[in-house]
Structure 1
Amino acid sequence: MSTPQASTAPSPSPAVEDPALHAEALKVLRDLVGRPDAEFKEGQYEAVEALVAHRRRALVVQRTGWGKSAVYFVASLLLRARGAGPTLIVSPLLALMRDQVAAAARAGVRAVSVSSANATEWEDVRRALAADEVDVLLISPERLTNPRFRDEQLPDLVSRMGLLVVDEAHCISDWGHDFRPDYRRIRDLIGQLPSSGPRAVPVLATTATANGRVVQDVVEQLDVESRQEVFVLRGPLARASLRLGVLRLPSPAARLAWLLQHLQELPGSGIVYALTVSAAEDTARALRDAGVEVVAYTGRTDPEQRERIEEDLKANRVKAVVATSALGMGFDKPDLTFVVHLGAPSSPVAYYQQVGRAGRGTDHADVLLLPGQEDRAIWEYFATASMPDEAQARAVLDALQQSGGAMSVAALEPVVSVKRTVLELLLKVLAVDGAVERVGGGWRATGRDWTYDAERYARVAEARRAEERLMLDYQTTQTCRMEFLARTLDDPTAAPCGRCDVCAGPWFPTGWDGAARERADQALRRTGVPIEPRRMWPSNMDRLGVPVKGRIAEGEQAEEGRALARLTDLGWGSRLRELLAAEDAPLPEEVLQGAVAVLAAWGWQARPIAVVAMPSRGRPQLVDSFARGIARLGRLPFLGALETVGGGPTAGPGGNSAYRLASVHGRFAVPEAMEHMLRTAPEAGQHGPVLLVDDLVDSRWSLAEAARVLRGAGAQGVLPFVLAQNG
């Protein structure tokens, strides 16, 4: 909760509708913040009054640090004093919940949360709610789809709820579609609440990030069955403490060199944002190797570790956290003094959301964008991955309808060719649309008609493309950058800031020395990404005619392999993307030398005795030359390529594990001469695995199946070795 600053604002004017309510609200505020001189900021009391006195539905759009949480905590306690039930806050991130619960406790508000991070406390929370000992309950939007919560706790909460708060409410809008599909379910919850009369339940939506389109969309979501106009309070978004800048550099190596030399020069502690997990991890590693105290924070970071990292940053025990968007909404560190972006987010809305973490409680904070040439390709990848596909959605619905009952995600995978992450997103979208519902045992069809909303998704796609264009314009604008962002967010108070690099000239160094560039080059030349072997067969493979289940026998497994790099890596990633996008040709020598460096650092338990190539329909020259080059430089015999059976694999990239395995199972064979060599190797004193060479690894099932047949033909072990990992 943001502490209101001491104010010299005059006493309540005659315009205050109810002086007694104002006095009561001001006392609650001062008790909450522990400051006898605290005053409401402009607009805070008006929002409280709308909720408490008039039970209205309200949208508050105010910059981070303005004090939106003070509005709903004050309103909650005032409503509780009038006999209302607990406030329900729908909050998107665990970090945000932790901060809000802690702030509420300090202020004397009895707040509890229900999330995946505190499952052991759920029964205690249920008892406290039943005893009316809770003022504020925080939940994630996903909790609204949980069968037990939806059926056992939500009806009682709806019947006695005093206030509903939707935090980070821009997620209700199309802008937040791929972030939280479950946010769209909140509209149904709002529709269940009485909107008029003495039992009317006020609703408050809050966000720091919304343009006019998002504001209108959220207002429409709030206006379900309401007989009152939605109260909208919108303040200026520009923050006087932020100093914005853009530095366009020619390559990933140049951006990393700049960071290596100049990050320590930035005052205080802050956040370095990267667009992908691998970029965040690689950047953090390079900075740590250079002696800078940083840590990576991504979607792969365990929840417990995330909490420790957040605390370390708040306590200034690290210079910076190198993060993806996983560290965003809800993270509260008022003295954060810089935000640097390695690569641009896809919209000014997303960018402002992230840079708004800085300068909340400081006079000065530096914000610098280092855009990359690869940004647009990354935007396109994430936009495509987040949009539901009609054919896949139909397949999921058909499977559930034909089953006649509930199916788990694992049971659905062998029936529909959809990756698990995409399948889970589709189920959420279908659930929000009312076509499926989550029940004990999984998901089931509701029997309701479902229509693919092509018009809506086309509108979302066009809006995103427009915002991408604006983000590119931000990088090259010749007008004030803060004014540009504020105008993009439809802030009527937008004006030149006088501080950014356009208004006052570049405030940041633009070069780096040779030592920094050499460290950057070394970091980006670093090669070798582990490839974990498949150890378990997907569930229910018998439905696809593949007679496997449970754990893969140890004698059939591959060992841990290596890739030269991920396609998303800062260094080799861009070179490999170019290589795999070009027409098939022999492997360039410099890429082969990079692969040799991986071999040299591998540290295997037993040296390989031979090289085997995967059969390739799309890049036969590339794979063959890669395998032969490795054999030549490693002084190993090249045994040729595996053969394909029945035309080879039957599916390309995409689909889930079950379908990917079914498409390759039984499709590889070991040539007779290769099998003879493998079986006679021990007699010839050759003991060790074979290197299995390919160009690209995605699901790892092709490598797993090839390893299975090679082990069956006598190979003592199989070490997969590929150029690129997709991810």
Structure 2
Amino acid sequence: MATPTQPDVPVPDAPTTTEPALSAAEGALRERAEGHLRALAGESARLREDQWTAIHALVAEHRRALVVQRTGWGKSAVYFVATALRRAEGAGPTVIVSPLLALMRNQIAAAERAGIRARTINSSNTTAWESTYAEVSQGLVDVLLVSPERLNNPEFRDRVLPELAAGAGLVVIDEAHCVSDWGHDFRPDYRRIRSLLHDLPDGVPVLATTATANERVTHDVAEQLQAGADRADTLVLRGSLERESLSLGVAELPDPTARLSWLAEHLPKIPGSGIVYTLTVSAAAETARFLTEQGLEVLPYTGQTDPDERGLAEDALLGNRVKALVATSALGMGFDKPDLGFVVHLGAPQSPISYYQQVGRAGRGVERAEVVLLPGREDVRIWEYFAGLSFPPEETVRQALQALAESDRPLSTASLETRVDLRRTRLEQMLKVLDVDGAVRRVRGGWTATGEPWTYDAERYAAVSAAREREQRAMLDYVSTDTCRMEFLRRQLDDPAAEPCGRCDVCTGQYWPTDVDTGRRQAAADHLDRPGTPLAPRRQWPSGMNTLGVSLSGKIPENLRAGEGRALGRLTDIGWGTELRRVFAEDAPDTPVDERLLQGVVRVLAAWGWENRPVGVVAMPSLSRPTLVGDLAARISELGRLAPLGSLSYRTPAGPGPRRHNSAMRLEQVYNALVVDPALADRVAELQRDTPGPILLVDDQTDTGWSLTVGAALLRKAGAPEVLPLTLSTTGG
């Protein structure tokens, strides 16, 4: 690990008012608190008044408190100081529910500097869990950081959590806005915290902290903090959200090529190191590769990055060994680097509140930090693409509850996929919410229905969706505003003290230049124009297919498996994605493939590097874009001098029916719908006799991959020695 950075270090407030006189006991407590703070943050540190108010409420009054304060204000100092005071009184360890590994690593380092023994339980250190539990039982741990996902793990919930709740000296919920489904970053696992709070013994203080909560979220979180409490008086300490070091600006550039070249030109000129945020995983990877090619020291950081690599990337940024991390929102909360010099967004987040949180990583320990937004015309399309995480319709929820109620055993999420048409991630989120609501329970082996009555709160779910839409419109307004940008963000967070900052581009009239170097722009264009995304073949059938009447299980036999395929690009790419999103928009007409996309596909084929050159082309049947798919297959056949073999067929004119969204149901659809008609089978067999070799299987786009998997298996049965899928687009982060 790199040298640990300082935690939220409180800067002395200007003495505008006389501090209230303290009793002798309060004075002694404050003196001890100040001593612990100095051990944590240095000899010059002293408590802010709201920090002291929170600490006193927790330690002396055993209250529940919600602290809504800007990043860098010193929220972690409150719970570390309160921990030291509570432990000195003989209280049990502090349990901190913390959302991200980056936050955990920083906080453990900060705690150890103050002599506070901290441990963590999360998905990256499973081998240490038992020894950590033993240390907690022996009183050797002062702070235990727990990821929210652990709270919904059956073994942890039933075996470990009751003991922790019974013995905790303080409970802390960090990034508490995640508790509220009104918040911009609601996480179902956080809802389990209500059960934790409800089971706490009387007198255990609770602290919730966040920097990003408007009035509605603040009220919701404060209300949820009262679960199991014997009095309804959560202390709410809400301060100004002004960030005097941040200089906000927007640079509107015409296309992704211009934005990438702008980054390459301007990042080296901005002092210090920082973060470049992107909206998608693929954009982070593409941007990091381009900036590296341009000579900048950068690393990608996404939710798909290996955990060890994420740790190394964090250390590299903390040690200023890289200019920037190119990151998704996986680096959104808790990364603690006070001297972070800039945050640049390549594309706008969906919410001004989310944007405020991410830019809040910068400028905590420097006088000036640059914050620049490079919005894209494709941002709204990308927001729409990721908008499918709202709570499912009532019919779907009832279907899941009925399936669980009718089962005589727990059902795994994979088993439920054969009964409920939701993708795995969305299904799990729904089940977690139902778990907290008491309608289902997670147990060993999966999920069971509790039989408790449950009401679908359609009005609330609709209101939350409407709030998300308002946030998106507000983000567009931020881009075009002619008033102070910091004031705009603070008003979105209901900061009553919001006023012009005097530092942003609107206030000063000093805007970032939008001219880009011609040479760099050409380099960016060449980079983004590189086509080709691998399509990994499916190797395993989904479990539980017999429930759907499909006798497929286990590994897909080698002699039926597709080879590794290729797509021209991802729908979420910042290069080819722009054109692909246009082609596949709901209102886009079905037309022959345009010349630019075709030439991109030709370049994909030229760079493929296959062991054996394909000898023929087969098209997938399409009900939505038959002209596009048919023309694409025909043009590839003509240009590549490959035998045009025709198309797979559907058993009925209706095809597979309305598209299913999860793997099991989609496989059942296409398995029962796709066929190789006798004429196609004869052509494949004849070609293999005369000119043996692989077959290209052409489609417009792939999502779950099961259509191509089944199509490849059918062609393999018909005699094709290898089937290579080829599509224009694939979905992806």
TM-score for both structures, normalised by structure 2? 0.95
Which residue is 1:479 aligned to? 483
Which ranges of 4 or more aligned residues in structure 1 deviate by more than 6 Å? 6-12
Equivalence map 1:485-634=2 (5 Å): 485-581=489-585, 582-634=588-640
Rounded to whole Å, the distance in 1 between the matches of 2:16 and 2:263 is 48
Rounded to whole Å, the distance in 2 between the matches of 1:469 and 1:257 is 28
Which residue is 1:212 aligned to? 215
Q: Deviations over 1:225-249 (max 9, x none)?
A: 3425222222221111110001112
Q: Is residue 320 from structure 1 mapped to residue 324 from structure 2 by the alignment?
A: yes
3-state SS of paired residue (1:43):
helix
Which residue is 1:165 aligned to? 172
Contact 1:7–1:38, Cα closer than 8 Å, also in 2: no
Q: Aligned in 2, Cα 1:487/1:467: closer, same or farther, shift over 3 Å?
A: same
Q: Deviations over 1:135-183 (max 9, x none)?
A: 1111122222111121112222222221111101111122347641121
Which residue is 1:29 aligned to? 37
> For residue 447 of structure 2, what is the amino acid of its counterpart?
W
3-state SS of paired residue (1:340):
strand
Contact 1:260–1:520, Cα closer than 8 Å, also in 2: no
Which residue is 1:67 aligned to? 74
- Per the TM alignment, residue 2 of structure 1 is displaced from its structure 2 partner at its CA by 2.2
Which residue is 1:644 aligned to? 650
Equivalence map 1:423-442=2 (5 Å): 423-442=427-446
Which residue is 2:701 aligned to? 696
Does 281-290 or 242-251 show the bigger shift? 281-290
Q: Aligned in 2, Cα 1:178/1:53: closer, same or farther, shift over 3 Å?
A: closer
- Per the TM alignment, residue 208 of structure 1 is displaced from its structure 2 partner at its CA by 1.2
Rounded to whole Å, the distance in 2 between the matches of 1:38 and 1:726 is 50
3-state SS of paired residue (1:341):
strand
Contact 1:498–1:504, Cα closer than 8 Å, also in 2: yes
Contact 1:178–1:386, Cα closer than 8 Å, also in 2: no
> For residue 721 of structure 1, what is the amino acid of its counterpart?
L
Does 149-158 or 363-372 show the bigger shift? 149-158
> For residue 269 of structure 1, what is the amino acid of its counterpart?
S
Does 629-638 or 179-188 show the bigger shift? 179-188
Rounded to whole Å, the distance in 2 between the matches of 1:520 and 1:233 is 48
Which residue is 1:203 aligned to? 206
> For residue 206 of structure 2, what is the amino acid of its counterpart?
V
Q: Deviations over 1:570-597 (max 9, x none)?
A: 1221212222232212111222111111
Q: Aligned in 2, Cα 1:321/1:31: closer, same or farther, shift over 3 Å?
A: closer
Which residue is 1:58 aligned to? 65
3-state SS of paired residue (2:704):
coil
Q: Aligned in 2, Cα 1:176/1:13: closer, same or farther, shift over 3 Å?
A: closer
Contact 1:345–1:351, Cα closer than 8 Å, also in 2: yes
Contact 1:294–1:319, Cα closer than 8 Å, also in 2: yes
Aligned length: 721
Q: Aligned in 2, Cα 1:720/1:392: closer, same or farther, shift over 3 Å?
A: same
- Per the TM alignment, residue 381 of structure 1 is displaced from its structure 2 partner at its CA by 3.0
Q: Aligned in 2, Cα 1:11/1:459: closer, same or farther, shift over 3 Å?
A: closer
- Per the TM alignment, residue 37 of structure 1 is displaced from its structure 2 partner at its CA by 4.1
Equivalence map 1:309-388=2 (5 Å): 309-388=313-392
Which residue is 2:224 aligned to? 221
> For residue 90 of structure 1, what is the amino acid of its counterpart?
V
3-state SS of paired residue (1:116):
coil
Rounded to whole Å, the distance in 2 between the matches of 1:332 and 1:190 is 28
- Per the TM alignment, residue 6 of structure 1 is displaced from its structure 2 partner at its CA by 6.5
Q: Deviations over 1:654-700 (max 9, x none)?
A: 4211111111114333343433343244543x232011111111111
* Structure 1 residue ranges without an equivalent (≥5): none
Contact 1:87–1:163, Cα closer than 8 Å, also in 2: yes
Q: Deviations over 1:361-401 (max 9, x none)?
A: 11110000111122222223323324333222212111111
Q: Aligned in 2, Cα 1:12/1:502: closer, same or farther, shift over 3 Å?
A: closer
Rounded to whole Å, the distance in 2 between the matches of 1:448 and 1:180 is 23
3-state SS of paired residue (2:49):
coil
Rounded to whole Å, the distance in 1 between the matches of 2:149 and 2:584 is 39
Rounded to whole Å, the distance in 2 between the matches of 1:61 and 1:15 is 25
3-state SS of paired residue (1:174):
coil
> For residue 551 of structure 2, what is the amino acid of its counterpart?
P
> For residue 597 of structure 1, what is the amino acid of its counterpart?
R
Which residue is 1:120 aligned to? 127
Rounded to whole Å, the distance in 1 between the matches of 2:583 and 2:81 is 59
> For residue 564 of structure 2, what is the amino acid of its counterpart?
E
Contact 1:61–1:233, Cα closer than 8 Å, also in 2: yes
Which residue is 1:393 aligned to? 397
Contact 1:248–1:370, Cα closer than 8 Å, also in 2: yes
Rounded to whole Å, the distance in 1 between the matches of 2:232 and 2:617 is 74
Rounded to whole Å, the distance in 1 between the matches of 2:509 and 2:184 is 38
Does 622-631 or 21-30 show the bigger shift? 21-30
Rounded to whole Å, the distance in 2 between the matches of 1:11 and 1:349 is 31
Q: Aligned in 2, Cα 1:669/1:313: closer, same or farther, shift over 3 Å?
A: same
> For residue 125 of structure 2, what is the amino acid of its counterpart?
N
Does 491-500 or 688-697 show the bigger shift? 491-500
Contact 2:12–2:48, Cα closer than 8 Å, also in 1: no
Contact 1:246–1:370, Cα closer than 8 Å, also in 2: yes
Rounded to whole Å, the distance in 2 between the matches of 1:599 and 1:233 is 61
> For residue 709 of structure 1, what is the amino acid of its counterpart?
L
Q: Is residue 669 from structure 1 mapped to residue 672 from structure 2 by the alignment?
A: no
Which residue is 1:185 aligned to? 192
RMSD: 1.9
- Per the TM alignment, residue 484 of structure 1 is displaced from its structure 2 partner at its CA by 1.5
Q: Deviations over 1:434-467 (max 9, x none)?
A: 1111111111111111111111111211222222
Rounded to whole Å, the distance in 1 between the matches of 2:286 and 2:655 is 34
- Per the TM alignment, residue 52 of structure 1 is displaced from its structure 2 partner at its CA by 0.9
Contact 1:272–1:339, Cα closer than 8 Å, also in 2: yes
Contact 2:694–2:723, Cα closer than 8 Å, also in 1: yes
- Per the TM alignment, residue 547 of structure 1 is displaced from its structure 2 partner at its CA by 1.3
> For residue 75 of structure 1, what is the amino acid of its counterpart?
A
Equivalence map 1:197-346=2 (5 Å): 199-224=202-227, 225-227=229-231, 229-346=233-350
3-state SS of paired residue (1:383):
coil
Rounded to whole Å, the distance in 1 between the matches of 2:475 and 2:630 is 43
Equivalence map 1:651-666=2 (5 Å): 651-666=657-672
Rounded to whole Å, the distance in 2 between the matches of 1:216 and 1:10 is 29
Rounded to whole Å, the distance in 1 between the matches of 2:433 and 2:185 is 10
> For residue 68 of structure 1, what is the amino acid of its counterpart?
K
Does 289-298 or 610-619 show the bigger shift? 289-298
Does 426-435 or 142-151 show the bigger shift? 142-151
Q: Aligned in 2, Cα 1:248/1:101: closer, same or farther, shift over 3 Å?
A: same
3-state SS of paired residue (2:58):
helix
> For residue 698 of structure 1, what is the amino acid of its counterpart?
D
Contact 1:9–1:39, Cα closer than 8 Å, also in 2: no
3-state SS of paired residue (1:205):
strand
> For residue 27 of structure 2, what is the amino acid of its counterpart?
P
Does 84-93 or 147-156 show the bigger shift? 147-156
